[in-house]
Amino acid sequence: MRLILMGPPGSGKGTQAKRICEKLGIPHLSTGDILRAEVKAGTPLGSAVAAIMAAGGLVSDDTVSAIVATRIAGPEAQRGFVLDGFPRTISQAAALEQALGEQALTAVVELVVPEEALFERIRRRADEAVGAGGPQRADDNAATLELRLRAYRAETLSVSEFYKDRAPYFQVDGLASPEDVTARILEILKTAEMEYS
């Protein structure tokens, strides 16, 4: 099972990837989570990317592509994986294709959520983090979300087009409840596995 979850920032990729991975027992490869862990640990990589992430920009293709290539070659990814937040550019998609070699993608699922709803979700997540007494994500505010959306429109929208004729590609209404979105993705995976394996 090799799934790519796509969608704009705040569309629920992380939320859904966690649920699907728990259900299927496969690793959740989130480039955002991996990079945030590097920032938190104060590694050289974390120090190099912290400002880019806080400003809503994209980390370099070479950096994220190398991280993903190492993870998908690892033993824990041999049964499959869910990629969340990668690829975000055509160059990353080409690097992934190379890293996968003969291994086909089971499905590429795009979560569709209108921009007004994204602002509301990010505001809620920031409020919840503060309410729980924890730190709020450096990029969870309206001004930075606007920049993340700009990066999404400029770089990532074309990745959807890239996959439409290269892999089983599906769009899912990301405005539905988290439970309904998960159910729809699982249904897609079941059909895709039967049709394309």
| Contacts with ligand B4P, residue ranges (CB under 6 A) | 7, 9-15, 31-32, 35, 52-53, 56-59, 64, 85-86, 88, 92, 121, 124-125, 139, 148, 174, 177-178, 181
Contact 111, 169 (CB under 8 A): no
User: Which CB atom, from 70 or from 196, has the smaller least distance to ligand B4P?
Assistant: 70
Q: Least Å distance between CB 102 and ligand B4P? A: 23
Contact 108, 167 (CB under 8 A): yes
Q: What are phi and psi of 6, to 5 degrees?
A: -120, 170
User: Which CB atom, from 35 or from 109, has the smaller least distance to ligand B4P?
Assistant: 35
b/e for 52-71, b at 16 or more Cβ within 10 A? ebeebbbbebebbbebbeeb
User: Which CB atom, from 159 or from 192, has the smaller least distance to ligand B4P?
Assistant: 159
Q: Which residue is nearest to ligand B4P (CB)?
A: 32
Q: Least Å distance between CB 10 and ligand B4P? A: 4
Secondary structure letter of residue 167 according to DSSP: S
Tokens of 66: 């190398």
| Alpha-carbon 82 to chain mean position | 9
Q: Least Å distance between CB 168 and ligand B4P? A: 21
Q: Least Å distance between CB 190 and ligand B4P? A: 20
Picking from 175, 152, 189, 157, the residue whose alpha carbon sits closest to that of residue 4 is: 189
Q: CA-to-CA distance for 69 and 65, rounded, in angstroms?
A: 6
Which positions are annotated as active-site residues?
A: 13, 88, 124, 137, 148
User: Which CB atom, from 60 or from 80, has the smaller least distance to ligand B4P?
Assistant: 60
Picking from 51, 53, 49, 50, the residue whose alpha carbon sits closest to that of residue 62 is: 49
